[in-house]
């Protein structure tokens, strides 16, 4: 019997051990309590209490080891005003009462417990946390970025229009892109947000400070997301994030991905934020789009999202969020590391990303005059808020339309190259030299009777 009690009691709960020991003591008869005490280590009072429960036939609810109401009373029963005091404290602080003791301090459970104890309600920080969750319905929460400021009265109509443009392009098999620039990143042994699995006690060591320093190289990721194919293309620049850099990223995407994926495409829809290098007020962005339209022969439509709605851009939560999770906790020490981490990003929905390093230079401060902007065939959409702009052809090819406008701007005479009287304008420039940035000397003359000028930075001039 004694060996059985020694083997079984460790496997039982409190009440079961007590009753089993009491039953064993009764079975052993006189002196059984002392024997069970030596074998189980239980006190005499506990065994006697078990014998009394067996004799009285006490029964508890199933699953309970103690009778209901047993044990120490809860603090809120001993101090009925505790919850009310805590509620008044956090509620007044939430409303912004300047007389609240916690108005200028951290509203942590330890601070709340200290203030309550000083007010005559002794309580621990653990109990404060339990009361906040169970009695008052509070939770630890970060700030919610939902305040968008002023809204355009036609914002809903703008989104509906953009949605219809996207659907129309997708139904007709055309290209729909979402573009944006990701936050620039410091290159070097600097702290990266997030955590990564490492051996215990051996975290990756990084610099203690990352103060701004123009000598520290920076990476400028600019992304292109193909809505239909669920594929991303990211160009990692090293100079500046400008409209020329954005257009060059689109140009590279078309040459390496888009032209192969959409060989029959005639139109391109771009969804972008209202600000930044691709904002609707950027003249250089419009000029660069004109160059891209002339080179590719695509009719480009740009839909800018309303202000303060950049998080609705597809590229934000379908590409950039996945990239951020992929390089969490990893210091970005070089351009190669950035490119490899971006290029290896995948998701369960089948996202594929191509990344490359752009070593080109993109100077800032390039001014575009009104005359240069007027040479780009732009047509605003007559829809709510005029959220979109697109190059227009006016019955001519894209190259011919741009040449016609520059010709008229520089010479003031009608353009006759369409009829074939100016072979240099209609063939060589339109096919090979149009919109290039390099300076090209020219000696032949066109139908207007003037010499060919050098290719300008914002476009080609035919006079």
Give yes or no for residue 432 having a pLDDT over 50: no
Are 258 and 183 within one domain? yes
Q: Measured between alpha carbons, how far is residue 363 from residues 280, 352, 360, 415 in Å?
A: 20, 31, 10, 33
Are 309 and 241 within one domain? yes
| 150 within domain boundaries | no
| 149 within domain boundaries | no
Are 243 and 330 within one domain? yes
| 457 within domain boundaries | yes
Are 191 and 289 within one domain? yes
**Could you list the residue range(s) of the whole structural domain that residue 125 is in?**
78-134
**Residue 231, SS3?**
strand
| 381 within domain boundaries | no
Are 432 and 295 within one domain? no
The Cα 46–Cα 26 span in angstroms is 14
Are 326 and 408 within one domain? no
Q: Tell me the per-residue pLDDT of 301-335, one tens digit each, with 9 for 90 and over.
A: 999 998 878 888 999 999 999 999 999 989 999 99
| 235 within domain boundaries | yes
Count of residues making up the chain: 463
| 405 within domain boundaries | yes
Paired tokens of 399: 């190259």
Q: Using a cut of 0.75, tell me whether the model's pTM lies above it.
A: no
Q: Find the range with the poorest average confidence among 10-19, 136-145, 423-432.
A: 423-432
Instruction: State the pLDDT at residue 52.
Output: 86
Instruction: State the pLDDT at residue 61.
Output: 63
Final residue in a domain of this structure, among 321, 356, 371:
371
CATH code, domain carrying 297: 3.30.420
| 228 within domain boundaries | yes
Give yes or no for residue 414 having a pLDDT over 70: no
Q: Which residues pair with 268 in a beta bridge?
A: 175, 300
**Count of domains in the chain?**
4
| 62 within domain boundaries | no
């Amino acid at each position: 019997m004694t060996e059985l009690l020694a083997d079984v009691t460790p496997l039982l709960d409190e009440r079961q051990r007590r009753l089993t020991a009491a039953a064993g003591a009764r079975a052993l008869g006189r002196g059984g309590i002392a024997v069970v005490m030596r074998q189980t280590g239980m006190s005499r009072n506990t065994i006697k209490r078990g014998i009394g429960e067996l004799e009285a036939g006490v029964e508890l609810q199933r699953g309970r080891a103690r009778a209901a109401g047993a044990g120490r009373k809860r603090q809120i029963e001993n101090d009925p005003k505790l919850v009310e005091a805590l509620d008044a404290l956090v509620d007044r602080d939430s409303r912004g009462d300047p007389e609240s003791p916690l108005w200028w301090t951290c509203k942590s459970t330890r601070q709340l417990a200290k203030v309550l104890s000083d007010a005559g309600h002794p309580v621990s920080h653990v109990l404060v946390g339990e009361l906040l969750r169970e009695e008052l319905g509070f939770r630890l929460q970060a700030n919610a970025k939902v305040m968008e400021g002023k809204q355009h009265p036609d914002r809903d109509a703008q989104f509906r229009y953009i949605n219809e443009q996207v659907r129309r392009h997708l139904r007709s098999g055309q290209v729909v892109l979402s573009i944006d620039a990701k936050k620039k990143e410091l290159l070097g042994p600097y702290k990266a947000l997030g955590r990564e699995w490492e051996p215990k006690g051996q975290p990756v060591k990084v610099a203690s400070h990352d103060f701004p320093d123009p000598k520290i190289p920076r990476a400028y990721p600019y992304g292109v997301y193909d809505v239909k194919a669920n594929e991303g293309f990211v160009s990692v620049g090293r100079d500046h994030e400008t409209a020329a850099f954005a257009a060059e990223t689109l140009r590279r995407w078309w040459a390496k991905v888009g032209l192969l994926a959409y060989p029959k495409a005639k139109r391109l829809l771009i969804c972008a934020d209202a600000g930044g290098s691709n904002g609707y007020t950027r003249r250089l962005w419009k000029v660069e789009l004109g160059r891209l339209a002339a080179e590719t022969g695509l009719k480009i439509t740009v839909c800018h999202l309303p202000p303060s709605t950049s998080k609705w851009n597809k590229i934000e939560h379908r590409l950039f969020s996945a990239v951020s999770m992929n390089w969490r906790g990893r210091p970005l020490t070089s351009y190669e590391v950035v490119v490899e981490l971006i290029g290896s990003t995948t998701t369960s929905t089948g996202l594929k990303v191509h990344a490359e390093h752009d070593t080109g230079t993109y100077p800032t401060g390039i001014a575009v005059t009104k005359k240069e902007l007027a040479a780009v065939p732009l047509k605003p959409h007559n829809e709510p808020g005029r959220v979109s702009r697109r190059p227009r052809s006016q019955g001519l090819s894209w190259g011919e339309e741009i040449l016609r406008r520059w010709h008229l701007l520089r010479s003031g005479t009608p353009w006759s190259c369409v009829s074939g009287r100016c072979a240099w304008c209609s063939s060589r420039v339109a096919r090979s030299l149009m919109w290039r940035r390099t300076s090209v000397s020219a000696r032949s003359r066109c139908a207007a009777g003037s010499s060919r000028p050098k290719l300008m930075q914002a476009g080609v001039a035919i006079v």
